[in-house]
């Protein structure tokens, strides 16, 4: 199970990196198109790529300890109290992320059902970029539950790898 979850987080991070790398390619194609006298509008597409990159990168970054953590209270307690507080933080984060993920999934499904299309020149069905956001939030929820499971069983959570990201004052 651990290998499967790590592969999920890694795949999500790779997808985020690919979407991020696609942004300058889209912009370059727009610039080259203008130089050749052709209209190529990729502004909307670049925005969709940025959203997908942001949301798909959340779980990978969380697991790698790359998110900034503020340890005002957590850093001042130890032992069972710290573990209980870490567990509460992971579960509260999972509840919030799960709530938003549920709405994002529903939003993407509704966009698909109603055939919502972006208003730009490319007329992209909205469910496509919304799916990247929804998938990223679902994977983040899984990562938070994974961290809660580790903390509940006395193991270090994946986000504890990077203590430099913690702000302890």
Mean pLDDT of 129-156: 95
What CA–CA distance (Å, rounded) separates 68 from 162? 9
What is the percent of the chain where pLDDT is above 70? 94
Residue spans of the domains in the chain: they are: 2-167
What's the pTM value of the predicted model, to 2 decimals? 0.88
> What pLDDT score was predicted for residue 154?
87
Arithmetic mean of pLDDT over the chain: 90
> What pLDDT score was predicted for residue 149?
95
> What pLDDT score was predicted for residue 107?
97
Helices (DSSP H) in 64-124: which residue ranges?
Answer: 79-113
Neighbours of 73 (CB within 10 A): 11
pLDDT in tens, 109-129: 999 999 999 887 888 999 999
> What pLDDT score was predicted for residue 100?
98
| Both structure tokens of 89 | 């933080």
Contact call for residues 51 and 133 (beta carbons, < 8 A): yes
When pLDDT is cut at 50, 70 and 90, the band that residue 76 belongs to is confident
pLDDT: which is higher, 74 or 58: 58
pLDDT in tens, 85-98: 999 999 999 999 99
């Amino acid at each position: 199970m651990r290998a499967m979850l790590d592969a999920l987080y890694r795949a999500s991070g790779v997808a985020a990196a690919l979407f991020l790398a696609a942004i300058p390619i889209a912009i370059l194609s727009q610039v080259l198109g203008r130089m050749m006298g052709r209209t190529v509008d990729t502004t909307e597409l670049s925005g969709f790529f940025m959203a997908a990159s942001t949301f798909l990168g959340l779980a990978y970054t969380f697991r790698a300890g790359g998110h900034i953590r503020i340890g005002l209270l957590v850093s001042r307690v130890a032992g069972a109290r710290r573990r209980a507080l870490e567990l509460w933080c992971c579960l509260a984060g999972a509840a919030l992320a799960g709530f938003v993920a549920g709405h994002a999934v529903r939003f993407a499904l509704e966009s698909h059902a109603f055939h919502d299309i972006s208003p730009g020149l490319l007329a992209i069905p909205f469910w496509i970029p919304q799916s990247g956001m929804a998938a990223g939030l679902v994977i983040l929820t899984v990562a938070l539950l994974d961290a809660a499971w580790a903390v509940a069983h006395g193991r270090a959570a994946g986000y504890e790898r990077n203590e430099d990201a913690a702000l302890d004052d």
